[in-house]
Amino acid sequence: MNDLYPLTFHPILKERLWGGIKLGAQLNKPISSDITGESWELSGVEGDVSVVSNGSLKGTSLNTLIKSRANELLGASVVDRFGKEFPILIKFIDAKQDLSIQLHPNDALAKERHNSFGKTEMWYIMDAEKDANLIVGFNQPVSREEYVQSLENNTLLEYMNYEKVKSGDTFFINTGKIHAIGAGVLLAEIQQTSDVTYRVYDFNRRDKEGNLRELHTELALEAIDFDQKDDFKVSYENKKDTVNPMVSCPYFNTNFLHLERDLIQDTTDRDSFTIYMCVEGEVEVGNEHGDTRVQKGETVLLPASSKMIALKTAGCKLLEITL
């Protein structure tokens, strides 16, 4: 029997050296630390698997649901590609301080080294303090030798491309691209299910035990894209009360919905789960088996078996994610 209603999950909160309090103050997360950097909203990562927080399935883990009802929940085509693993990881991130400068390996390298997916990701800026920025890519062509020398000479920052950001800005970070989230940025992140990160520079910071954090200099050398590319800023329309495409890649598709009235979508032929991240306002999200209300900073998962999705709102902004 198919009775899969819109599912919400308990957030998995992560302390980070660079974290702050905005996940609690702005997104109403139950933080217990003033260095809370991440809220994992939907995760199938071993050791950090999301658990349903609403309805008759409350207390059930995401992976348990997938094992018993994979095609209904994920979609047959998703199961064909990824098996019974949830293929993406959904987060909110609060950077009180700069994150380390880092990059992620592609699928082939991640599989070979870590038996993991690679990590392609995108960011939607929800809030940015004055003069907040991101590091995305190089500001000039850089050879492998110049890059290595810059690490040895502590001059890497001279080669970094800084992007000043504001609310609504969106960035696509493909594998191999060097990057860092800057201080004062609150964002929504959509990524492949992977926790593989190669940290290459950390501003010589020390953790709470006084130790320098581990760098992955050698691992990163084979994974990094040294080309200077202007391919990361996402341009998208902001038409109200419709679906605005943002990012389409092999690992996820993301649309932007700026709704001022109700919207009903026929999803009979959508052979994929649908996720909504509410980045402003609130909305009642329903399918033929029930509905649930989500507000700014909350995330909801609708099963692939949904024949329709009803979004009832007086005003909200949503990121819609499918495969």
Q: Give the side-chain half-sphere CA count within 13 A for 160.
A: 24
Strand ranges inside the chain, DSSP E: 12-20, 36-42, 44-45, 48-49, 88-95, 101-103, 121-128, 133-138, 160-164, 170-173, 179-181, 185-192, 198-201, 244-249, 252-259, 263-266, 274-287, 290-295, 299-302, 308-322
Q: What is the amino acid identity at position 129?
A: E
Annotated active-site residue 199? The verdict is: yes
Catalytic residue, from 81, 199, 261, 293: name it: 199
Cα 319 vs. chain centroid, distance in angstroms? 11
Q: In what order do the strands lie in the sheet with 185-192?
A: 12-20, 36-42, 88-95, 185-192, 121-128, 170-173
Pairwise CA distance, residues 7 & 5, whole Å: 6
> Which positions are annotated as active-site residues?
199
